[in-house]
Amino acid sequence: MMKNNHYKLNCRLVNRAFAILLFVLISQAGFAKIQQTVNGTVVDDSGIPLPGVTVQVEGTARGVTTNMDGNFSIEASSGEVLLLSFLGYNSQEIVVDGEEDLEIILTENIGELNEVVVVGYGQQQKVDLIAPIQVVDDEELKRIPTASPTEALQGLVSGVTVSNNGAPGATPSIQIRGLGSVRGDFSPLYVVDGVVTKDIGFLDMNSIESMSVLKDASSAAIYGVRAANGVIIIETKRGKKGKPSISYEGYAGIQKVTPGNFSLLNNEDYIDFTNNKLEANAARNNSTFTPFDPNDYPDNTNWFDEILRTAFTQKHSLNISGGSENNRYFVGLNYFEQEGVVKKNSYERVNVRITDDIDFSDYFRAGISTDMSITKIDHLAGGLLGQAYRNPPVYSPRNEDGEFTNPDNLGLGQYANPAATLDRWNNVEPFTTRNISNIYFELMPIEGLTLKTSFSADISNYSTRNYARAWNVSIIQTDDSNALTRQYGRQFNYVWDNTITYKQEIDKHRFTVLAGSAYTSYFSQFLNGFNTGVEYFSDASLYLVNGDETTEQQASDGGSKRVNQSYFGRLSYTFDDKYMLNATLRTDGSSSFPENNRWGTFPSLGLGWVASEESFFNESEILDYLKIRASYGMLGNSDIPQGTYILPVDNRPYLSAVFGPYDSTNISQGATITTAVQPDLTWEVVEEYNFGFDSNWFDNQLSIEMDYFYRTTRDAIFPVILSATSGVSTPSGGNDRAYLDNNANILNSGLEFLTSWNKQVNEDFTYNISANATFQKNEISELQTGTIALYNGYRSSSISQVGRPVGEFYVYEVEGIFQDQAEVNNYVDEDGDLIMPNAVPGDFKYADNNGDGRLDDQDKISAGNYLPSFLYGINFNMEYKNIDFSIQGQGVEGVSVFNVKRIDRSGNQNIDQDFYDNMWRGPGTSNTYPAGDVLGGRNPDPNSFNVESGDYFRIRNITLGYTFSENSFFGNALSRFRIYASATNPVTFHRYNGFTPEISGGNPTNRGYDNGVYPISATYLVGLNINL
């Protein structure tokens, strides 16, 4: 048996990191900081004392509040930073420099509107924002123990749909404001410290300062052609002036499969179910059968128990930051490990992040950042979960000799032994290395003017290995090839940005002007190799050259390249802090399109009015702030399949035309065209209108935001069906005769709500309650000539057509179950002919919805799709003295899931307990569930019985923490010591017959199908935070 080599990635690096941390802790314990008593008074800008202001030493548990006279007294060391915060006022940071008596002025901050928000190619004060940009800070993100930062957004941001895959290291599917593309990419654009990328799975959560979600076209238009699906800007942590700060965060815990609403049959029920099917078949065919004897099948195997496990997960992050007035640095080390709840499936990652910002003078600064990561993935065994669903429970994984049991010997049909599949599996991605680096230079020749140039590089190298060892378990589990497949690849993404920014404030006028250019180059290569006869001695022996010398090795390679050139500008203008205007214009050129359509121009305009600043609002006692916003913008989408507009010529021998006599060996090889293309293919263009308001109430304790959006994708790329005589196939090599063209319009519209209540009850107790909700609608509003609808999915059960959502399930409507032969005979058309002549009692009865006496596509109904019509999140956080507690919940409504694993069965495969308990067993026993032999071979047509509700509500996370008072450990060497316990995804409420109704993956027209999805895990862990 092949050994499963599950090795730890860079264990030495992790061990050394812990050794360094321990050394620092012990060293610091021996050298107590010299502290002094700092006294101070806090007043507002009118000189009135402010009671209740929180004064805390940064990164520590030391904190006090000001008394009724605004006075405070606190112990702090020279060089430490005092953080002052008070609801409704701007926070301040004061560096302790030996002065013992301070007078501090806090300025009023209406709803914290003066905070700085990261936007495209710059920053803006929140008070000047017109677009719906939602910011999630690091504290909210870190509550979810995950390798993917995007997964942590689930339930936190309105208008954002996140669908998770439970597999370790899997990238969640994320959509902002619906779905606007059928064949193009529908994931958002990510910008990490100015570096543009399509994936942020490499980032350590502890290195993120904040994530800003740009949801509408006006905010994203500055990124033009790449921003059609929204933009998420990630600002990472960088160094700050002051003495070195060392922080550690780590956790360890277990992961278990979240219980689903189903269970499979045990051996007794399975034999009864199988005999019931055989008896029904015999009765219908006027034949006899010999029932299976339960005593012959004493084994009772739960196959999920054989392939699932309680998995281990851990993370350790060490951050070091500090610097002088002119040089600030940050160093972060991270190790993350996650075992899968499916055996032999795991993910490991090591991160190193370094940043340095240098002020050479008052006029010139520069900085550099680099994030290096190494990941290793042991992939999931192909088909394993489906085998566990369908295998009979009546045999053991291994026989008495220790060999894998051959299911063929049971006499129940042909099956794949899941335990053997798992044992043979050896598909790993040994190393993926990635380096994302950025260097920038800024010149400020005069006040308000900034010239900036930055260069970014995103370089990754990957390799995969798939080894199929020779085996002979059963008829369908036999192979003597010892086949090895290896793949190597690399990707390069370079971005060069140049911007000029001018900011000025004159009397009541405040404006910012931005102009810039961007050049992007993407290049990728891959090389595949295959050979047989590779004997296994260890993983180190798995190389193609060790294969059978008599067998010719196979190899293939390929790659892609694209270039974008862009020019952009933006004007932001505010008058009297009441009237705002924001306008952008971007022109993009992309090599993804033919020369005559390579350039596109994308404008946007936003207007804002702070109505609460008008004189007629001064008398309001409950409304503190009200801003009304409206915007319009255009975006482009260039992320389409590469080479779509290029006519391919194929000269492979087995496909090409040849010239010469039929029986001659002296022939000339020709070439053939197998695919039609549209040579004038152009951009998918998004137009969006947004109307909304921001408001604060009751002394800024309550905030309410609302937005309505109307978003249209014009010229969406959609397949055009050709006639059967065209002689071509789809560009992807499928069987449908089609080519891609700009011939569809897709509409997304919706309403978003976001509300938050913040309350400081007293100096010991504060809490926050927030909620968000989104109502959204998706619809194909137009299809041009040549296209009726697009079919996809299981047995073409997904349809995309005018007036309906993308990827809607299109199935026969089940009216009930035929109870007896009389019902079958009475189901006739106007001429008395049987509508379902092959039906028998116990079968589904399909509705003849158009009344023509025939069952065809015209009778099918739309049964929903995977896009939620309503999504929401609820969050509660509180702090009482040293205790902190938080709970998050999120859910979706209006979702449908096609349960493929229930219908797609054959022979004597197992079934779930729900079906067995409710199936039709004779007249009057059920009018909802069919007879047991209906599934699979009989009545296999997709129908409404197979489409189930995918609605759910999930307790996303529960965290309870305690921060020890200073001097509790190591004297005063530790400025903060917090422990916590956390549960993620502990409970999910749903009605779906499966592990989870949350289905991720697939293209937009082929999603929501459950044929054995990876289960979502519940994670239970304990962790700690340490600051020095």
Instruction: Note the pLDDT tens digit of each residue in 49-75.
Output: 888 788 888 877 677 888 878 899 998
pLDDT attached to residue 111: 44
595 vs 463: which has the higher pLDDT: 463
User: Is residue 604 pLDDT above 70, yes or no?
Assistant: yes
Most confident of 283-297, 655-669, 687-701: 687-701
Q: What is the largest CA-CA distance in the chain?
A: 107
User: Is residue 23 pLDDT above 50, yes or no?
Assistant: no
pLDDT attached to residue 75: 86
**Least confident piece of the model among 203-212, 521-530, 782-791:** 782-791
Give the model confidence (pLDDT) of 942-980 as tens digits: 999 999 999 999 999 999 999 988 766 666 778 889 999
Pairing between β-strand 101-106 and β-strand 35-44 as defined by DSSP bridges: parallel
Which band of pLDDT confidence, cut at 50, 70 and 90, is reported for residue 32?
very low
User: Is residue 795 pLDDT above 70, yes or no?
Assistant: yes
Which band of pLDDT confidence, cut at 50, 70 and 90, is reported for residue 126?
confident
Residue 138 phi, psi (nearest 5)? -65, -30
User: Is residue 523 pLDDT above 90, yes or no?
Assistant: yes
Give the model confidence (pLDDT) of 350-393 as tens digits: 999 999 999 999 999 999 999 999 999 998 888 899 999 999 99
DSSP for 762-806? SSSEEEEEEEEEEEEEEEEEEE-TT-SEEEESGGG-EEEEBTS-T
Residue type, 281: N
pLDDT attached to residue 19: 45
User: Is residue 317 pLDDT above 50, yes or no?
Assistant: yes
Residue type, 845: K
Give the model confidence (pLDDT) of 851-890 as tens digits: 999 999 999 999 999 999 999 999 999 999 999 999 999 9
Q: pLDDT averaged over the chain?
A: 87
Give the model confidence (pLDDT) of 412-451 as tens digits: 888 999 999 999 988 887 789 999 999 999 999 999 999 9
Which band of pLDDT confidence, cut at 50, 70 and 90, is reported for residue 9?
very low
Give bridge partners of residue 897 from the DSSP assignment: 948
Q: Which of 587, 708, 718 is nearest to 180 (CA)?
A: 718
CA distance 537 to 517: 55
User: Is residue 1008 pLDDT above 70, yes or no?
Assistant: yes
User: How far is CA 367 from each of CA 76, 111, 191, 195, rounded to the nearest angstrom?
Assistant: 31, 33, 17, 14
How many CA atoms within 13 Å lie on the side-chain side of 786? Answer: 14
User: Is residue 1 pLDDT above 80, yes or no?
Assistant: no
Global pTM reads 0.87
Residue 141 phi, psi (nearest 5)? -65, -40
CA distance 988 to 892: 12
pLDDT attached to residue 16: 44
**Domains observed in the chain:** 32-108 (2.60.40.1120), 814-859 (no CATH)
pLDDT attached to residue 30: 39
CA distance 70 to 241: 28
User: Is residue 730 pLDDT above 60, yes or no?
Assistant: no
Residues shown for the chain: 1028
Are residues 341 and 996 in contact, defined by beta-carbon separation less than 8 angstroms?
no
User: Is residue 731 pLDDT above 70, yes or no?
Assistant: no
Sign of CA dihedral 646, 652, 655, 661: positive
Which band of pLDDT confidence, cut at 50, 70 and 90, is reported for residue 1002?
confident
Are residues 530 and 594 in contact, defined by beta-carbon separation less than 8 angstroms?
no
Region 180-198 average pLDDT: 84
pLDDT attached to residue 658: 60
pLDDT attached to residue 655: 54
Are residues 451 and 445 in contact, defined by beta-carbon separation less than 8 angstroms?
yes
Read off the tokens for 504.
């000025």
pLDDT attached to residue 3: 40
pLDDT attached to residue 88: 64
978 vs 649: which has the higher pLDDT: 978
pLDDT attached to residue 60: 74
Strand residue runs (E) in 848-936: 861-862, 870-880, 883-893, 896-899
Give bridge partners of residue 688 from the DSSP assignment: 633, 711
- Residues of the chain with pLDDT > 90, as a percent, come to 59
CA distance 887 to 986: 11
Q: Which of 1013, 725, 988 is nearest to 866 (CA)?
A: 1013
User: Is residue 692 pLDDT above 50, yes or no?
Assistant: yes
Region 699-705 average pLDDT: 93
Give the model confidence (pLDDT) of 743-772 as tens digits: 889 999 999 999 999 998 888 899 999 999
